[in-house]
Structure 1
């Protein structure tokens, strides 16, 4: 059974750089599953910064959707770095077919996707490191979709933390092991 690591933290908390250092110690054959979509210039710049930080030897798979298939395809790797779970959730929640869906239908689609990810990560022997954002420490968002996203992200983070072998919280660039 695969080992699951969850690394969470707020924006610019150092979670991704900690995750990159963590997986670099776990083996030589690293797969990086990227979930962000370059939908504007600013996001393209963010994605490029992440790419520049990674060693050229890491294999990058872009998987904004159906990322469980990307995890399944990585069974020959020592370690998988999945960055990031909350971006992946936003990709799912903002799909056009869910635009007018009920909260219950959106939530069902989100949790189905999450269960598929965790199942895929546990199926193989490698370590999968999930990076996620801690979004529940701020103010209550002013619109329904943002509130639903915040709630779903919190529930997904809780579920993933329960499934994880280790959980870290990055604060001000300092990772703290919680589990």
Structure 2
């Protein structure tokens, strides 16, 4: 059975850097990187290119804008799988059929994606590290689509955090392992 580590925090908090260092520490050269980003504009294309260049050349990269559970299965016997990131995966699912997708359909798609990911993690021999953003600490978004996104990602994060063996929150580049803190308080 695989081990699940969730890495969360705000934008530019150091999540990806921390997750990559952790993946290198746990898997060395035997890491499969699952990238969920889609280049919907030039700025995102530049970000994707920079991320590709920063990863070790020995790591295998799988592109999976959807069906991340299937990509975990494709990773085979890798020691470590790094998924960066759930935030973009949920966005991809939310926008798959355009901005006017019925909320129930988006919710069902995200729930199915997270369930498939957890099934794949349980069946994998790997340590799977998932990077995600914590988007629920700010103001309530002004438009329906942004509120729907915040809610979908928040629920997906909660499901993964509950299933995870370790959960790290990054604040200003500093990782704090929060799952063990929650368990010490005997929270369900």
Q: Aligned to 1:26, what secondary structure does the other structure show?
A: helix
Tell me by how many angstroms 1:69 deviates.
Answer: 1.2
| Aligned twin of 1:34 | 35
Matches within 5 A, 1:19-98: 19-27=19-27, 28-96=29-97
Unaligned stretches of 5+ in structure 2? 180-188
Tell me by how many angstroms 1:123 deviates.
Answer: 0.7
- Matched length: 178
| Aligned twin of 1:126 | 126
Matches within 5 A, 1:95-110: 95-96=96-97, 99-110=99-110
Distance 1:25 1:120, change over 3 A: same
Q: Name the TM-score, length of structure 2 as normaliser.
A: 0.91
Q: Deviations over 1:107-149 (max 9, x none)?
A: 1111011110111111111100000000001111111111011
Q: 1:136 and 2:141 equivalent?
A: no
| Aligned twin of 2:186 | none
C-alpha separation in 2, matches of 1:109 and 1:39: 20
| Aligned twin of 2:159 | 159
Unaligned stretches of 5+ in structure 1? none
Tell me by how many angstroms 1:99 deviates.
Answer: 4.3
Q: Aligned to 2:139, what secondary structure does the other structure show?
A: coil
Q: Deviations over 1:47-106 (max 9, x none)?
A: 11211211000000010011211110012211000000010000001011x644432222
CA RMSD of aligned residues (A): 1.1
Q: Deviations over 1:16-43 (max 9, x none)?
A: 0000000001123100000001121100
Q: Name the TM-score, length of structure 1 as normaliser.
A: 0.96
C-alpha separation in 2, matches of 1:159 and 1:131: 14
C-alpha separation in 2, matches of 1:38 and 1:105: 23
Q: Which runs of 4+ in 1 moved over 4 A?
A: none
Q: Aligned to 1:95, what secondary structure does the other structure show?
A: coil
C-alpha separation in 1, matches of 2:106 and 2:45: 27
